[in-house]
Amino acid sequence: MISKYIEKANFEETGFSYTLSLISGKHKMVILYCLMEFEPVRFNEMKRYLGSITDKTLSSNLKELETDRLIIRTEYPQIPPKVEYTLSDRGRSLMTVLDQLCIWGENNRE
């Protein structure tokens, strides 16, 4: 059944491909999971949660997630600057999928 669908549609045009394009990479799903568990989260808190990630990589991933409207960046006008990240409604809707990945992993861990 799936093979018939793939023959009719180009993989890049599928919803699956689109979803993967939003969350692909080493850190994006972990960033989203962190926000799901602990939001709001500041940059340095996120960095501690992720462990070994450079400022540049984290910043780049956060910008991409913001551009894709999965997270919201809120900047507070104070000194020193304060920035917090939260999930957008669109990002929250993706948490059902990520939650299912967690459940599958727990049930199938060897």
Q: Are 80 and 30 in contact (CB under 8 A)?
A: no
Using 50, 70 and 90 to split pLDDT, how confident is the model at 17? confident
Burial 76-89 (b: 16+ CB within 10 A, else e): eeeeeeeebbebbe
DSSP 27: S
- Taking the C-alpha atoms of residue 37 and residue 76, their distance in angstroms, rounded to an integer, is 22
pLDDT digit string, tens, across residues 31-81: 999 999 998 999 999 999 998 899 999 999 999 999 999 999 999 999 888
Mean of the pLDDT values across residues 3-9?
57
Domains of the chain (ranges plus CATH)? 26-108 (1.10.10.10)
pLDDT score for 92: 95
Which among 82, 74, 65 is positioned nearest to 28, based on CA atoms?
A: 65
pLDDT score for 34: 92
Using 50, 70 and 90 to split pLDDT, how confident is the model at 85? very high
CB atoms within 10 A of CB 50: 16
